[in-house]
Chain A
């Protein structure tokens, strides 16, 4: 569904992503793993259009999207979920969610209802300013907001960052069930490789901007050498 070919992105002279090629299949969770500075977030920001690639192509269902601006992505069904700091803290929970709906044109009350059912913690605080939310609630809010735009593919940026293991399990479980029950596709960028591989179908390992492994998630999890060298567990 989402295919990258020979994608390179640089910050000035620094090549943060080099010649990356892989495909994220429809209805699957594809995990992009690697240490800090491996180029994971740069990759994600290039896909969502916040950064321009130096060369290479990005295709969504065969259509090139690598020269589109980020504003166009929600309409194509691609929703980037920035990690927890992507909550607009000055707005209320409800307003954050409505913005997600507006990304696809308008707010559908049924979608809002569904997000509140998925995240009861948010339903209790819908009128609260998002500033008061905990880290876990913020992560739920950014995921819920992305769901409001009825995406076909979620780009998740480090959803486990700074969260307690219990919350991470909860959020990852929810992502997995969205994929299994509703056919959502997910590109999951994670430093927490162990948790990510536990729900992913496929894993891509980045090191210094290059792909060093691309295999089924259980194969990666069983590869001791790779785990020790790049994934830290």
Chain B
């Protein structure tokens, strides 16, 4: 029983982080129809920004904040400099560019930050929370991770559902031409969308890194899990991304806990294949809409 609870709890924690990463992918997919493979190294770079700030003797929170801020800037710059020039061309061009960016950021990080493992601090305990005399499989940092992702999701929901800016951003994502006729600066909205997605991706990076080791490739496996989670949810649905992330986190945690940790990556791929075979549009796909 205890193992069951603990496996579920650690799956939940991990799932939340996958969910955040998947959400970042979905945000960009929805607005620009690009799968941003560079999301992982972008998050890696901002995590190293945090590490540099912390290593310079500043607090974890200053590093955390500056990392998110640099994520915002990095996302905007990538959209303006890398993606904008190929806008209106086949989407595959942009996707290849994000792959190129993946390699470039990797190489740059190795040069600037060094190609070695470095430990990344965590602001809360990384040992199991103790309830009575049993130790639960969730850490203080795990609870923080879940809370942080939930807060960010709530803020995004508020932004998109309640504010005028969010309405403009959705209009720009759904129907560029009509949005322009309604006075929406579509280019700015796309830049902002990339910037916000990059913040969410950076958050996922910081949460993966906390209390663990970082190196220029530490996010690479996450892009696979995040992508699987996003596809699981249907790529177009933010709610799907979150549910997909949680499902994936739980499944992988149970496979790792009960079957064997060496099967984790294989399981992720098996889940991906299963979903693509049975429900190619993802779990949250709606019946194909008539495009009129």
Query: Footprint of B on A, CB under 8 Å?
Result: 48, 50, 69-75, 79-80, 82, 84-86, 88-91, 95, 98-100, 102-104, 106-107, 131, 145, 149
Give CA–CA (A73, B164) in the complex, Å: 19
What are 29 A-B contacts with C-beta separation under 8 Å? A50-B177, A50-B180, A69-B180, A71-B180, A71-B184, A71-B186, A73-B181, A74-B181, A74-B183, A82-B178, A84-B292, A85-B292, A86-B175, A88-B178, A88-B179, A91-B167, A95-B170, A98-B164, A98-B167, A99-B179, A102-B164, A102-B168, A102-B182, A102-B183, A103-B182, A104-B183, A107-B164, A131-B289, A149-B183
Residue of A nearest to B186 (CB): A71
Contact partners of A71 in chain B: CB under 8 A: 180, 183-186
- 138-193 of chain B: CB within 8 A of chain A: 164, 167-168, 170-171, 174-175, 177-186
Q: Does A99 contact B182, Cβ atoms closer than 8 Å? A: yes
Residue of B nearest to A107 (CB): B164
Give CA–CA (A106, B163) in the complex, Å: 12
Q: Does A95 contact B181, Cβ atoms closer than 8 Å? A: no
Q: Does A100 contact B182, Cβ atoms closer than 8 Å? A: yes
Q: Is the interface of B mostly helix, strand, loop or mixed?
A: helix
Min distance, Cβ A132 to any Cβ of chain B, angstroms? 11
Query: Footprint of A on B, CB under 8 Å?
Result: 164, 167-168, 170-171, 174-175, 177-186, 289, 292
Give CA–CA (A194, B174) in the complex, Å: 35
Contact partners of A70 in chain B: CB under 8 A: 180-181
For the complex of A and B, 3 pairs with smallest distance between CB atoms: A103-B183, A74-B183, A103-B182
Give CA–CA (A98, B167) in the complex, Å: 9
Query: Which of B167, B177, B180 contacts A95 (CB under 8 A)?
Result: B167
Min distance, Cβ A91 to any Cβ of chain B, angstroms? 7
Q: Does A88 contact B181, Cβ atoms closer than 8 Å? A: no
Contact partners of A107 in chain B: CB under 8 A: 164
Min distance, Cβ A141 to any Cβ of chain B, angstroms? 11
Contact partners of A88 in chain B: CB under 8 A: 171, 174-175, 178-179
Give CA–CA (A35, B266) in the complex, Å: 60
Contact partners of B183 in chain A: CB under 8 A: 71-75, 102-104, 149
Q: Does B289 contact A99, Cβ atoms closer than 8 Å? A: no
Residue of B nearest to A74 (CB): B183
